[in-house]
Structure 1
Amino acid sequence: MMSEPFTIHVAEDVLIDLRQRLASTRWPDELPDADWDYGTHLSYLQQLVRYWHDSYDWRAQERLLNTFPQFKTEIDGIQLHFLHAKGKGTHSLPLLISHGWPGSFFEMYKIIGPLTDPERFGGDPADAFDVVVPSLPGYGFSGPTKVRGVSVARIAEVSASFMQDLGYERFAAQGGDWGSAISSVLGRSYPDKVVGIHLNFLPSRLNYKEEDATNEEERRWRERLARFSTEGSGYSRIQGTRPQTLAYGLNDSPVGLAGWIIEKFRAWSDCHGDIESVFTKDELLTNVMIYWVTQTINSSTRLYYETSQQGELLTGRVEVPTAVAVFPEEIAMPPRSLAQQHYNIQRWTQMKAGGHFAALEQPQALVEDIRAFFRPLRN
């Protein structure tokens, strides 16, 4: 594998075009008494777009992103952009961190320093990691996918090959959202290469048998999952069945793209309805910008379609040591009694705060849990 250093630099004409599109937005109507119950709230999005047009500084965000060493490579015809930060401890453990949708590698910007250089952040240098954070195939600076079949299973296969090519015979894996599914498949399929997996989300599509809901905790989870399926999963159904139809609007309208993504950051985070109590405007917009400037919203949503076509997400039990960090506002996490049907769970941590975007919402808590879990697995 030949990796080439990569520096993010978006052409100025892309930014000029963006500002023109923002300025000429044709806004929809909204009911006078509507809140977020109908979807992204009009007044909030208008406020955010004004900031985007008038004050947001993409070049400053580029400089932030470019403080991390980045590379590009190609594996079996799949383009891959990745961040690769070497640890500064005495014995760094390779750690592959996979993001999900509608996130990006940018989600991890707060945890990379503490994981790679724990001593500088008040930790033990023995807990250092070599951190590898790819942009998933079809996401961000990896660019659009070009072929059918780039599913979770295929991404896990590429990830295992990719880590070997980087010189890591054994490595740890971590993830939430799609990243949890990718890490799970890595642990299941490559137990000789993966020392353990740390998850801050558990795939709801795993085959939990109905008769296994034998206690109140399990029944509450099923009720919560049923509510999410009824009220919150419409995005997944359209992305899993007709992603191309959706893409025409989202790839053409930056406001449409922001409306589609921002609503998830509000709904899935521990923000109690106030999205900017958890994320800054710059954080929200930088994540959206990564989709916009790379034109990868279509290929990112296509992962839902490709994975739905492959059938069961995870066959067999994951026997490598597994840790689960349970953030209270995460989407319908199954209880440990059900999760351990599929995983060799060695650590189960109930977090005090946080939601779906753990690395952005509760970076310190996530870092401490990752360190603690992998500490005895380093030898």
Structure 2
Amino acid sequence: MASQFMRSTRLQFLTAAVIAGAICTVLPTPSHAAGVSPQQTAPQADDTSIRPFPKIHFSDEALQDLHRRIAATSWPSPELVPDATQGVQIATLRKLADYWQSGYDWRKVEDRLNALPQFVTTIDGVDIHFIHVRSKNKNALPIIITHGWPGSIIEQMKVIDPLANPTAHGGKASDAFDVVVPSLPGYGFSGKPTAVGWDPQHIARAWTVLMKRLGYKHFVAQGGDWGDAVTEQMAVQAPPELLAIHTNMPATVPDDIAKDLAAGAPAPAGLAPDEKNAYEMLDFFYKHGLGYAQEMTNRPQTLYGLEDSPVGLAAWMLDHDARSYALITRVFDGTPEGLSRDDILDNVTLYWLTHTAVSSARLYWENKLAFFEPKHITIPVAVSVFPDEIYAAPKSWAVKAFPKLIHFNTLPKGGHFAAWEQPDEFVSEVRASFKTVRPK
């Protein structure tokens, strides 16, 4: 993800850019995903129950079709430059495709997912899939964690048990959380909206409904990427049950800075070093990293090729931002840091098998908010800055954006997919962020 984007001029675009045996959920059943078990039933709009989610199992035929399509990839000629300035490099993608075809095992992630308690509930006519792990520790703090694009619940799988079972992972019983990880509408195993209107504000309201349905009288929320957009909208709406939020991709860019960025101007004089660094990171992203977002903001339905070619889908998902792309390239070049080849393909394969390339992209089209501009949040906010994020938010901006800033920390490593890349650091940050808001 990164942001919402307006639909015409560069100025409009960047002003907005300044940036996811039981009654079953609605699940796509395209030809290449046929065989997911069991059969799906249509959601009932008036059904507010929490239902067990069925066992995840895609048919052998669906996986064979995936392998056939990978093998049949029609490859373009190589890039004409020695770097990624023309896009995803063919050598990287061929390595990914080779491993996807001959070494990767989707069944392993199915087993890991099926080991987690999963549920579905219908909110405003859309089935919302979610993982829900209740801690065994008394007085655990409920938390809802939201992924983004090109992410999914795969991003959060490494942090669920450390948050819910802290004593097994170097924490204290008093650090425990009840963990709720939903799939955004149109993503993963959630249903696909059949009408427009599922923007971050709507999703934020739905998440509050979800937490109330689970019986929670108070809770906290966490998110990055679209997860931040949703989480910050929850904070704007400020339901009385929401105690605080934590974000690893905060909206802090001051209005004057946003205007200079939209104009493509050099960094203003007088910025502190960390502010100048943030400005330059954003400026680079706006000038060189928004191709995917422009298309999904304006014409998401046009992305038919992503539903037909798994390698095309992988290339589209890899080409998110320069630092994330560099991290993934290292994975397939044999020098991984934080992520493995299986991590990358677990996520891409989930998009492929659930047929959600286009439905997930529609969230960009739905959003009308400027992503990185402050939202006038008045409840407590915690911020963790990972240095290889799209931009490293300076504390001076965070203090202005969040009047009740209860935690701010800059980490030594990590990027856009913080929970996925650096789960230990992410868990430590979440524990520290909410320590002061836990009910006594």
Tell me the alpha carbon deviations over residues 278-327 of structure 1, each in whole angstroms, 9 at most, x when there is no partner: 3211110110011111111111111011003x678878521111110000
- Equivalent residue number for residue 279 of structure 1: 339
- Equivalent residue number for residue 79 of structure 2: 31
Tell me the alpha carbon deviations over residues 14-71 of structure 1, each in whole angstroms, 9 at most, x when there is no partner: 1121111111111111135443222111111111111111121111110011111111
Aligned to 1:298, which of 340, 343, 358?
358
TM-score by length of 2: 0.81
- Equivalent residue number for residue 18 of structure 1: 66
- Equivalent residue number for residue 76 of structure 1: 124
- Equivalent residue number for residue 66 of structure 1: 114
Q: Residues 265 and 81 from structure 1, CA distance in 2 versus in 1: closer, same or farther, beyond 3 angstroms?
A: farther
- C-alpha deviation, 1:376, in angstroms: 1.8
- Equivalent residue number for residue 235 of structure 1: 292
Distance 2:324 2:371 in 1: 25
- C-alpha deviation, 1:352, in angstroms: 0.7
Higher helix share: 1
Secondary structure of 1:111's aligned partner = helix
- C-alpha deviation, 1:208, in angstroms: 2.6
Q: Give the fraction of aligned pairs with identical amino acids, expressed as a percent.
A: 40
Tell me the alpha carbon deviations over residues 220-256 of structure 1, each in whole angstroms, 9 at most, x when there is no partner: 32232121100011111111111111x2011111000
Aligned to 2:417, which of 350, 353, 357?
357
- C-alpha deviation, 1:143, in angstroms: 3.2
- Equivalent residue number for residue 313 of structure 2: 257
- Equivalent residue number for residue 220 of structure 1: 277
- Equivalent residue number for residue 142 of structure 2: 94
Kept after mapping to 1: 8 A contact 2:127/2:190 = yes
Q: Which deviates the most, 279-288 or 11-20?
A: 11-20
Kept after mapping to 2: 8 A contact 1:269/1:355 = no
Mapped pair 1:341 → 2:400: yes
Query: What letter matches 2:412 in structure 1?
Result: K
Secondary structure of 2:109's aligned partner = helix
Figure out how many residues of one structure are paired with residues of the other and give that number: 376
Unmatched runs of 5 consecutive residues or more in structure 1 = none
Distance 1:301 1:54 in 2: 29
TM-score by length of 1: 0.93
Mapped pair 1:317 → 2:376: yes
Q: Residues 273 and 285 from structure 1, CA distance in 2 versus in 1: closer, same or farther, beyond 3 angstroms?
A: closer
Q: CA RMSD in A?
A: 2.1
Kept after mapping to 1: 8 A contact 2:147/2:153 = yes
Query: What letter matches 2:99 in structure 1?
Result: Y
Secondary structure of 1:146's aligned partner = coil
Mapped pair 1:3 → 2:50: yes
Query: What letter matches 1:124 in structure 2?
Result: K
- C-alpha deviation, 1:362, in angstroms: 0.9
Secondary structure of 1:31's aligned partner = coil
- Equivalent residue number for residue 154 of structure 1: 202
Distance 1:101 1:248 in 2: 18
Secondary structure of 2:416's aligned partner = coil
Q: Residues 294 and 120 from structure 1, CA distance in 2 versus in 1: closer, same or farther, beyond 3 angstroms?
A: same
Query: What letter matches 2:140 in structure 1?
Result: S
Aligned to 1:176, which of 224, 232, 240?
224
Distance 2:114 2:362 in 1: 28
Higher RCO, Cα 8 Å, sep 6+: 2
Query: What letter matches 1:248 in structure 2?
Result: Y
- C-alpha deviation, 1:270, in angstroms: 7.5
Tell me the alpha carbon deviations over residues 73-117 of structure 1, each in whole angstroms, 9 at most, x when there is no partner: 210112211000001212111000000000000111111111000
- C-alpha deviation, 1:191, in angstroms: 4.3
Distance 1:241 1:222 in 2: 26
Unmatched runs of 5 consecutive residues or more in structure 2 = 1-47, 261-267
Distance 1:237 1:263 in 2: 13
